[in-house]
């Protein structure tokens, strides 16, 4: 009974938050409560250092964090003893019920704003796809972003080498929308970046370059052409070194023959 119910549960939107200006104890408590409330909130909240969907700040912050007008607006949640002139506010000490209600309210606003911007984002993504924009994986995504086998497959393809959305679609069997949405999620979380060079890609849409060292640390395997040359170089070096070394060893052990024995 529980397995079908879990399988039929719709995927929750992924949202992120950053924390600044809170005492270490209150920051730890806030993050712990968010994790404990994960089964009750309407969205899945994940902490990241910056460029998050929600900025959580303490009321003792000397100056409110400034936002670049050119960037997307990010809501501000103030936590402390003194409420700000405007904006959402939670009073210390934190209570689970109040935090759950606040996260659900702010999450609904963020998801609605994201849906309103989907059309513009889709147009931008379509332009990038038309230009053959390539993306490379900067580091392996967190497990919360790889919640399906399809996303795991897409991440593995990106880890192998930079790829265009068309290449991901062809190699994975996913739809164009699934590939674009996954790349957008990774891009927002800082796990992928556009290479900005589509001319280096091959006919299949994958660039002829190795994966970043941080993803596949054991990927530096010599090719078939490199192996014979490396073996020849090692053999030549060994031929130059071994005779002198063996002669010295034999000399020290008294095994160096000076001529035929009687």
Quick check: 59 pLDDT over 80? yes
Predicted confidence (pLDDT) per residue in 145-168, tens digit: 888 888 899 999 998 888 888 888
> What is the rounded average pLDDT for all residues in the chain?
74
Q: What is the pLDDT of residue 58?
A: 93
Give the confidence band of 36 by pLDDT, cuts at 50, 70, 90.
Answer: very high
Which one, of 195, 168, 189, 197, lies nearest residue 180 by Cα? Answer: 168
CA–CA gap between residue 53 and residue 57 (Å, rounded) = 13
Q: What is the pLDDT of residue 132?
A: 63
- pTM confidence score: 0.47
Provide the β-strand partners of residue 90.
Answer: 79
Provide the β-strand partners of residue 82.
Answer: none
Instruction: Give the per-residue SS3 of 3-17.
Output: HHHHHHCCCCCEEEE
Predicted confidence (pLDDT) per residue in 108-137, tens digit: 998 888 777 654 555 565 555 545 678 889
Q: Which CATH class is domain 9-116?
A: alpha beta
Lowest mean pLDDT among 52-56, 66-70, 206-210, 251-255: 206-210
CA–CA gap between residue 185 and residue 203 (Å, rounded) = 26
The three-state secondary structure class of 97 is: helix
179: enclosing H helix or E strand: helix 176-189
Residues 6+ apart with CB under 8 A from 142: 46, 189
Q: What is the pLDDT of residue 242?
A: 45
Predicted confidence (pLDDT) per residue in 173-198, tens digit: 888 878 888 888 888 788 888 876 44
Quick check: 44 pLDDT over 60? yes
Predicted confidence (pLDDT) per residue in 60-117, tens digit: 876 555 555 445 578 899 999 999 888 899 999 999 999 999 999 999 998 888 777 6
- Domain segments of the chain: what residues? 9-116, 132-194
CA–CA gap between residue 246 and residue 152 (Å, rounded) = 55
Place of tokens 């967190």: 142
Helix spans in the chain (H): 2-8, 24-36, 96-116, 118-130, 149-160, 165-172, 176-189, 226-253
């Amino acid at each position: 009974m529980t397995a079908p119910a879990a399988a039929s549960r719709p995927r929750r939107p992924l949202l992120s938050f950053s924390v600044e200006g809170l005492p270490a104890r209150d920051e730890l408590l806030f993050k712990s409560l968010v994790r404990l409330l994960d089964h009750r909130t309407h969205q899945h909240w994940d902490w990241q250092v910056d460029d998050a969907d929600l900025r959580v700040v303490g009321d003792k912050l000397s100056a409110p964090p400034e936002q670049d007008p050119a960037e997307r607006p990010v809501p501000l949640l103030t936590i402390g003893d003194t409420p700000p002139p405007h904006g959402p506010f939670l009073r210390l000490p934190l209570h689970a019920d109040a935090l759950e209600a606040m996260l659900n309210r702010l999450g609904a606003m963020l998801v609605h704003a994201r849906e309103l911007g989907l059309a513009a984002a889709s147009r931008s993504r379509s332009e990038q796809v038309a230009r053959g924009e390539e993306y490379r994986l900067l580091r392996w995504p967190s497990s919360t972003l790889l919640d399906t086998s399809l996303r795991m497959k897409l991440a593995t393809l990106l880890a192998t080498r930079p790829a265009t959305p068309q290449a991901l679609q062809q190699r994975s069997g996913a739809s164009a929308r699934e590939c674009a949405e996954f790349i957008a999620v990774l891009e927002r979380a800082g796990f992928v970046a556009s290479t900005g060079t589509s001319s280096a890609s091959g006919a299949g849409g994958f660039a002829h370059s190795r994966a970043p060292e941080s993803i596949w640390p054991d990927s530096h395997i010599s090719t078939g052409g490199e192996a014979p040359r490396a073996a020849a170089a090692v053999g030549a070096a060994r031929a130059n070194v071994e005779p002198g070394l063996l002669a010295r060893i034999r000399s020290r052990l008294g095994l160096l023959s000076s001529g035929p024995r009687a």
